[in-house]
Chain A
């Protein structure tokens, strides 16, 4: 790739494109590729099509499929029909093909807070914060197969190879920090989800927009420090020698911005070496804060650390944190995929995250950060109101449900303590104000000041968007 074309696809694109990018100036693009910013050290410019309600995002990803009818979508009809078959002419097309009897929620719902939003006691801590939540109870997905559904949750597409939301926002908004990556991923301590790094890929965007994995224990980032001890004086002298060699090399090569940008990247790297250990130092938080997040708690320690780290990252200008609850599929279950026994599965998973997520919301609120932060709490799909068992049998587990499920948002620009949309009487299908992932993504972008139809990137013939060719902002959730 030639140096004339520092970011060839985009810069070149400007010279021949006719559509879609009018609002974006060339300098702006270069800034977001780190070039102008690297040169001047100034904060990169961001895309803003309209005033943004939020500046940063936390995406809490519940892998495996959270049951909407056991958490945020109360269905009294299930109590009446408990143990009876679904009275429907059309047999629902579900992933494992087994349609057992209807099963009422194993958790109790109650009106919460001033809003009276119905939330079950699966999430007792979160329930106390119902007035902060904006539920979307009418979500639908295009597939009930975990991984394509997860890809769609993150990228808008069912396939491998498309950029995830964090990558799009890193591309569109850059980072507010020059010593931390703009898009950070914190996997579940029990392991990465199926698909691994495909869940935080840059797809066809430049690699700098890929999520950087940060571990809440052990080495935070790969290659942050030399793989074997190097003395401070040698390190210092090495950088100086490198600078000398590079300056000499540059003398006969004027007009080559990339060479100077690369020299500057070593200074940024040195800053990262200070910033990353600092942000990871959770011990520096007060005991009260640590306890609030559940650090030291048997079930809550892992996710508590991840949530606390998330807050610290946001405070230091990180744009997007993707936080995973749940690892790989299969047996033994380490995610929300409650095929066998919902009570056992969802109790275990909810206990791990309930207190930490509630603490994160409270903490952001008390620090005045929740007003311009967007918290997303999603699952690739929901679960069926009937059990995954033979016809006429009441089982204990529930199958995947792409037809209707709940996600929530919290933070800036939202109508708080409300629920948007609705499923049918059993919670099987979304029937009112039906929403898709494209709508969801369009809404997230909207809240960040971006018109989803105008955040585009040319790839193999198409100005790609996270919303493909559809998606409408869900006005009903906006304040």
Chain B
């Protein structure tokens, strides 16, 4: 058995040594820099020299790297020297080669030591180069350049005493700080402001006018608390807070990189998060399931969905499949880094990923520890797993039924819209068919005993075992095919037609009737099942003129002859037929291609070119025809002997005016979307962690997979100072053990980071800024806590309250600090411009999704459906990679909250983007808030805003009648939650009379008051 070198740093020492006085160590411990003559006396190896050597020398001269044979990390090796001999002679600068290099600026290369650093080193050598802790532990103390084990957030959480037990704890701590700076809080906000603030904060939606009225009229002393409870119990709460978590989790519904394939079955993770928030799942459980749900609750379908967290990032499909094993290893390391970083940052506020190539430059995380965490996640793989979507919903069947009902309604609507055109076309067709005689082909093969062309000169020659039996050409699918003499006239516009029977409906790729150039490079052909088993298609070179007809799957019995025809029209339209009726939908491609006389021929049974691969057909052809023109529907029907007629959709579209075409296009887009949702509801797969055997993990020198160093076993970050950071596992432990231990360590109530980080994250969303401004980074590079005791009090309280996040929300939003007004105070601003001390509640702009959701809500169009597969606001096509063309979809099923759009990495929504919606590939702990002209253009001009302006106008007219003053009053209540002022009514009335109500609504959506919350 392999035993990894799990270094168990002295946890108990840390705890006992620092717990009592860590509060005084909140900020950087700056080493005393030696001055003048007394330098020798004051040099402290552990506090001054060790950090210096660690920061400037040990990257290259350590136990594993040993550049020039030198290891400066321990006294023995430092004194022994390197390839050039002795480097350090205590007490003698002249004999210390180290000093020569350093004082001559030869070392460290690139960036020599500062004068102060040199002075320190000089003093140390002169005073006898006394060593302290051995080997050097570079993380022992915080210095002016980095954090050590004594860093504030790594100390155990002790619940501080409340300064004033009679107050809300939040206020108690906040007021103390305000007082210290001579500041006082703003007055309480009024009830209108409060309900709008709370509604957007907890639900991401505006309150209705009725809710505003009720709250204002509520005389109960607990009116506010009751409101908080009502909102926390709303299922929309989970939607709002899930979106925050998805930012952190880098939730993307496509693979990213080159292919960016859709992750159709990833929505269940999103719904799991929504439900976890709504059910107030204890936060430790929430974390555990995302790290190891598949192990902890193997029988629980939703726990498997939870592991989507680990694989929510991009996946390099092409990179994983490339030929080069060396490059594949790099791709896998990149993937693991993505996971280590999301786990470290989201749950612990530690940027563990910065230690992939070397020890962390700023935080006490060694490179070996990075690889220990990598080892903990080494069994995690992207993929799809068995899943039962019905376990997510109580009303699963009802959901399917309502989609089916919506589909039926759309179909009805469509039928009603096209009925008049259909009737017209049918009548015309009946007239045509009566007068039509079957069309005349230029070539026809009856296979009555031979391969002759009974109309022209394209006589066939058999190859392989192609034989004519009982008036049919029989092809074995192995080597048999027939090729004809070259064409005697050019052929561009054309129709191919054949009667064929197939003994094997699973075969893929065989050609029935092909027209090709003699070299086989260009061809048009009737092909069976090549791209999709069971379906007919128009085969062509590089699929240039191929698209899915979307016809029905072939089911004909093996002795049944099916009539198949493909028409190539002048304008490039390609129409398929089966048994005389249109086969699916026609489509248009560049073309048609000209097949030159003398250089082209017909093939039977071979798709094109030379026989081989999947090109050969297994089946019989009864007869076949070739036409030098595009037959009409009626002619095809006549040729096939069909009397019943179907009108092809392309004919209807051709006959429709542009308005109707647009209506149909919207219906079709929504229909496709709902069908796809139905399919995804029924898919028994979820994109999640599909664990594989966890490899043994080595430290990689400079992060390079080609340079493995020490073997490590799975483990946590020792600087957290708790026993569970040592997983006690062998290096080859199974994945399940590694992740179980990982989850246990992270969620350990004694873990100093886990509770602090979530408390701060929640605070950040309520106030716009965290108590620590960098929610993903509590390290040296991150922000310092503005109210450290408050974080600790809230963290302790969270743990005591069983990790209930709703309890945490309650504590925060019922505080006077949260309920104060956003009124500006120039005196306070002069003292604390950033409002870190919370002398007011900072106003906030709506986030991108809230802008869209609020517009929908106010316009009365919001579809409140919670959960389920997302909608597509794009059309997509695959051309090696998957591409997304964004569109503004119209229809009730698209008017769901923005959370439910499909978050494709390369298919970003322009409308949401301008409002700072983040790139789904980045881990976003805090969104930026920018103000740009593109925002103004989007809000003024985007088709969505204009459409919703119409809907709001309709709503206002319906609810408040035709009087502009009444409409304006209603609009102000809906959009702003307040009464309209007189001058608003007079200005608005004049505007509405001249420019109409929709134009007025458009202005409201653009107003600052709509987009900002006080």
Q: Enumerate chain A interface residues (CB-CB to B < 8 A).
A: 1-9, 11-13, 15-19, 33-35, 38, 93-97, 142-148, 158-161, 181, 191-192, 194-198, 201-204, 206-208, 210, 212, 221-228, 230, 233-234, 237-238, 241-242, 244-246, 248-250, 253-256, 258-259, 261-263, 265-266, 268-269, 271-273, 328-332, 458-463, 469
Contacts and interface: CB of A to CB of B under 8 A. Distances in A.
Given A160-B314, A225-B941, A227-B943, A12 B935 contact: no
B883 A238 contact: no
A2 B881 contact: no
Interface string B312-355: 01101011001110110011001000100100010000110110
B933 A268 contact: yes
A328 B1007 contact: no
Interface string B973-1007: 00000000101100110010011100110111011
Contact of B1003 (A16, A241, A253): A241
Task: Specify which of A16, A97, A241, A462 lies most central, judged by the most chain B CB atoms within 10 Å of its CB.
Answer: A241
A222 B257 contact: no
B922 A204 contact: yes
A145 B315 CA distance: 13
Contacts of B1012: 3, 259
Contacts of B925: 460
A1 B983 CA distance: 32
A13 B773 CA distance: 8
Contacts of B994: 237
Contacts of A16: 773, 782-784
Interface stretch (B293-301, B492-500, B647-655, B903-911): B903-911
Q: For the side of the interface on B, what is the size category? A: 35 or more
A145 B318 contact: yes
A191 B946 contact: no
A255 to B, nearest CB: 4
Interface string B915-941: 011110111111111111111111011
B930 A242 contact: no
B166 interface: no
A332 B544 contact: yes
A194 B316 CA distance: 13
14 contacts: A1-B769, A1-B844, A1-B928, A5-B834, A12-B769, A34-B930, A159-B338, A160-B256, A161-B919, A207-B928, A223-B942, A226-B941, A238-B940, A258-B929
Task: Determine the main DSSP class of A at the interface with B.
Answer: loop
Contacts of B327: 93, 143-145
Contacts of B350: 461
B324 A195 contact: no
Task: Specify which of B258, B326, B881, B914 lies most central, judged by the most chain A CB atoms within 10 Å of its CB.
Answer: B258
Nearest to B1005: A242
A223 B345 contact: no
A249 B984 CA distance: 11
A220 B913 CA distance: 18
Nearest to B878: A330
Contacts of B1002: 238
Given A34-B931, A227-B942, A245-B984, A462 B879 contact: no
B995 A462 contact: no
B826 interface: yes
A6 B911 CA distance: 20
Contacts of B995: 233-234, 237-238
A194 B258 contact: yes
A2 B769 CA distance: 7
B879 A255 contact: no
B776 A143 contact: no
Contact of A244 (B326, B932, B987): B987
Contact of A5 (B334, B768, B910): B768
B78 to A, nearest CB: 26
A177 B1009 CA distance: 29
A7 B925 CA distance: 14
Contacts of B917: 207
B658 interface: no
A262 B776 CA distance: 29
Given A195-B260, A223-B937, A207 B835 contact: no
B834 A269 contact: no
B881 A249 contact: no
B593 to A, nearest CB: 13
Contacts of B822: 253
B259 interface: yes
Contact of B260 (A12, A194, A271, A462): A194
B844 A206 contact: no
A35 B929 CA distance: 11
B316 A460 contact: no
Contacts of A17: 781
A91 to B, nearest CB: 11
Contact of B824 (A11, A35, A148, A255): A255
A360 B692 CA distance: 54
Nearest to A258: B931
